[in-house]
């Protein structure tokens, strides 16, 4: 009979102050305030740090809002006040900052500063977890492990523990080892349990070392040797990014065609156009990483792909609430004219010129942002960096010119946000949403897009 091994089921806050310098292009006034706040914090002048963080936070800087929440959370420079901590965490969380989302989830778990609500905790943990934040992935695993805020589900717990464990989260490694030892959510596997407990023990988790010593008595010498080998050979996703782990010979194969795509979950789901992957025998990223075709809606011209076993570094959020309006500014991101233009991300700007496509098609919107071959499947973003559509096509200028005797200018199309959401909902994709209350610079939107937009290649 396998004993019940000790696993960590406490949820920690993980609140940390960090600098916004260099992470985004901010106004000069905010940048000065952030620099002054960081300097004050470094010299332990917390009251002065609070003053500067508050100035930048009141002007909408998400990092400063997070840091101000932390100061209230810890009572640094201000009296400890969980209500104020929750208020500032929420402001940063609503702008998509994963650490703030995770911290807010923790407050809902403990009922500090907000009414205790496991449902709300799960919602915020999931938003941060889908962005790849290990602390939130671990916490979400705990919620599924305990059936708090969600139905108890060992397989889901294992999934989130693994994502966090692969980022060197020692608590997740401890719990993942227990799941393997007890056969919960995965087939029992002493070798895997030994590996994960060895990794957690190496980070100072004493209960992991104790668990490993117990299970060692039930293993053969060959199993112990294999567990030791796996632990010694294991490399975290932090130590070596997935892009460096890929076998490179695949990239030498010629691609039949290419388009763009973007991640909608950190667990590896991405969206592109159906016509980008039509007729492909193998679909890959530019570095050769294999993509699996999950679902296609030919009428909407949407395809859902998955990059199995390799979580994305970031995922884009869909715009929350109402869609775009006429004349709203939009930004197109993608990889057009592969082999001719730069191999890096290409960004163009424009406006929404119509809320329907050809023949009054309400699944399309018309935009003025320039679109080239290869842009298909890329995200259309609003001025807050949220997805408001999927780039799909440009008007055939030659055909129109032949018909009307004039060349149309800047007539391009994107699949509407509503059509995209309907497609993702139909395929049970747990995508992120975020409000568009804060305006970002084009450069900030481009940085957000760069982290989650990829080139999709069709190979034969």
pLDDT by residue (tens digit) across 28-66?
778 888 888 888 888 889 999 899 999 888 988 888 899
pLDDT > 70: percent of the chain: 82
Confidence of residue 145 (pLDDT cuts 50, 70, 90): very high
Which of 33-42, 123-132, 252-261, 340-349 shows the lowest mean pLDDT across its residues? Answer: 252-261
Q: What is the pLDDT of residue 410?
A: 59
Asked if 105 and 139 touch (Cβ cutoff 8 Å), the reply is yes
- Residue that is written with structure tokens 């008595």 in the block: 217
Rounded average pLDDT over 16-36: 60
Closest Cα to residue 436, out of 319, 329, 328, 323? 319
Per-residue model confidence as pLDDT tens digits over 227-282: 888 888 876 544 333 333 333 333 334 445 788 999 998 888 999 999 888 888 88
| pLDDT over 70 at 340, yes or no | no
* pLDDT value for 25: 40
* Pairing verdict, β 433-434 and 318-319: parallel
Mean pLDDT of the residues in the chain: 81
Q: Which domains does the chain have, with CATH numbers?
A: 1-240 (1.25.40.10), 242-460 (2.40.10.120)
**Greater pLDDT, 198 or 372:** 198
| Opening angle at CA 141, ends 138 and 147, nearest 5 | 145
Instruction: Tell me which residue of 336, 392, 385, 387 sits closest to 364, measured CA to CA.
Output: 392
Taking residues 302-310, what's their average pLDDT?
Answer: 83
Taking 60 as the threshold, does the pLDDT of residue 349 lie above it? yes
Whether the per-residue pLDDT at 287 is higher than 70: the answer is yes
The predicted-structure confidence for 69-94, as pLDDT tens digits, reads as follows 999 988 999 999 999 999 999 998 88
Banded model confidence at residue 371, pLDDT cuts 50, 70, 90:
confident
**pTM, to two decimals:** 0.52
**Pairing, β 302-306 against β 269-272:** antiparallel
pLDDT the model gives residue 16:
43
Give the pLDDT confidence score for residue 240 in this predicted structure.
37
Predicted pLDDT at 186: 92
Arithmetic mean of pLDDT, 333-347: 70
Angstrom distance (rounded) from CA 60 to CA 50: 15
Residue 177 above 50 pLDDT?
A: yes
Q: Closest by alpha carbon to 103, among 15, 164, 11, 9?
A: 15
In this predicted model, what pLDDT tens digit does every residue of 392-436 receive, in sequence order? 865 443 333 333 343 344 568 899 999 999 999 999 898 889 899
Give a three-class secondary structure readout of the chain.
Answer: CCCCCCCCCCCCCCCCCCCCCCCCCCCHHHHHHHHHHHHHHHCCCHHHHHHHHHHHHHCCCHHHHHHHHHHHHHCCCCCCCHHHHHHHHHHHHHCCCHHHHHHHHHHHHHCCCCCCCHHHHHHHHHHHHCCCCHHHHHHHHHHHHHCCCCCCCHHHHHHHHHHHHCCCCHHHHHHHHHHHHHCCCCCCCHHHHHHHHHHHHHCCCHHHHHHHHHHHCCCCHHHHHHHHHHHHHCCCCCCCCHHHHCCCHHHHCCCCEEEEEEECCCCCEEEECHHHHCCCCEEEECCCCEEEEEEEECCCCEEEEECCCCCCCCCCCEECCCCCCCCCEEEEEECCCCCCCCCCCEEEEEEEEECCCHHHCCCEEEECCCCCCCCCCCEEECCCCCEEEEEEEECCHHHHHHHHCCCCCCCEEEEEHHHHHHHHHHCCCCCCEECCCCCCCHHHHHHHHHHHEEEEEEEC
Q: How far is CA 391 from the centre of its chain?
A: 20
Count of Cβ atoms closer than 10 Å to residue 213 Cβ: 11
Residue 14 pLDDT grade (very low, low, confident, very high; cuts 50, 70, 90): very low
Average pLDDT of the segment spanning 441-457:
88
Give yes or no for a contact between 390 and 379, defined as CB atoms under 8 angstroms apart.
yes
So what's the pLDDT on residue 384?
92
Phi, psi values for residue 77, rounded to 5°: 85, -10
The rounded distance, in Å, linking the Cα atoms of 238 and 406 is 54
Read off the pLDDT of each residue in 4-31 and give the average, rounded to a whole number: 47
- pLDDT computed for residue 235 by the predictor: 61
HSE value, Cβ hemisphere, 13 Å, CA-based, for 240: 7
């Amino acid at each position: 009979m396998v004993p019940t091994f000790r696993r960590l089921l406490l949820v920690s806050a993980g609140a940390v102050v960090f600098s916004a310098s260099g992470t985004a292009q901010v106004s000069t006034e905010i940048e000065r305030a952030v620099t002054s706040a960081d300097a004050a914090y470094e010299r332990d002048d917390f009251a002065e740090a609070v003053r500067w963080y508050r100035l930048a936070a009141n002007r909408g800087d998400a990092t400063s809002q997070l840091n101000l929440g932390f100061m209230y959370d810890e009572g640094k420079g201000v009296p400890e006040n969980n209500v104020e901590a929750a208020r500032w965490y929420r402001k940063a969380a609503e702008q998509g900052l994963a650490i703030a989302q995770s911290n807010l989830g923790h407050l809902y778990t403990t009922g500090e500063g907000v009414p205790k609500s496991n449902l709300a905790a799960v919602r915020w943990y999931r938003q941060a977890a889908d962005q790849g934040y290990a602390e939130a992935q671990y916490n979400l695993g705990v919620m599924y492990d305990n059936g708090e805020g969600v139905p108890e589900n060992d397989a889901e717990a294992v999934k989130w523990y693994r994502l966090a464990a692969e980022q060197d989260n020692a608590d997740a490694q401890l719990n993942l080892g227990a799941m393997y030892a007890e056969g919960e959510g995965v087939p029992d596997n002493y070798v895997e349990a030994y590996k994960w407990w060895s990794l957690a023990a190496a980070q100072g988790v004493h209960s992991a070392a104790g668990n490993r010593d117990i299970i060692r008595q039930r293993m053969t010498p060959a199993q112990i040797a294999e567990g030791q080998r796996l632990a010694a050979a294991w490399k975290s996703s932090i130590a070596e990014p997935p892009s460096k782990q890929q076998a490179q010979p695949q990239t030498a194969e010629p691609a039949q065609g290419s388009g763009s795509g973007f991640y909608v979950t950190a667990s590896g789901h991405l969206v592109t156009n159906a016509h980008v992957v039509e007729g492909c025998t193998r679909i890959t990223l530019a570095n050769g990483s294999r993509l699996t075709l999950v679902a296609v809606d030919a009428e909407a011209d949407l395809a859902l792909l998955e990059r199995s076993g390799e979580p994305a570094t970031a995922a884009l959020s869909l715009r929350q609430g109402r869609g775009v309006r006429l004349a709203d500014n939009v930004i197109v991101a993608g990889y057009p004219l592969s082999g001719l233009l730069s191999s890096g991300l290409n960004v163009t700007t424009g406006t929404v010129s119509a809320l329907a496509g050809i023949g009054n098609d309400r699944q399309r919107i018309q935009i003025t942002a320039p679109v080239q071959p290869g842009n298909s499947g890329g995200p259309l973003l609003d001025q807050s960096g949220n997805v408001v559509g999927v780039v799909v096509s440009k008007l055939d200028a030659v055909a129109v010119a032949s018909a009307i005797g004039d060349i149309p200018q800047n007539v391009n199309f994107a699949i509407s946000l509503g059509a995209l959401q309907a497609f993702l909902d139909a395929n049970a994709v747990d995508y992120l949403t975020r409000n568009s209350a804060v305006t970002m610079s084009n450069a900030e939107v481009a940085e957000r897009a760069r982290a989650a937009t990829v080139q999709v290649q069709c190979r034969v």
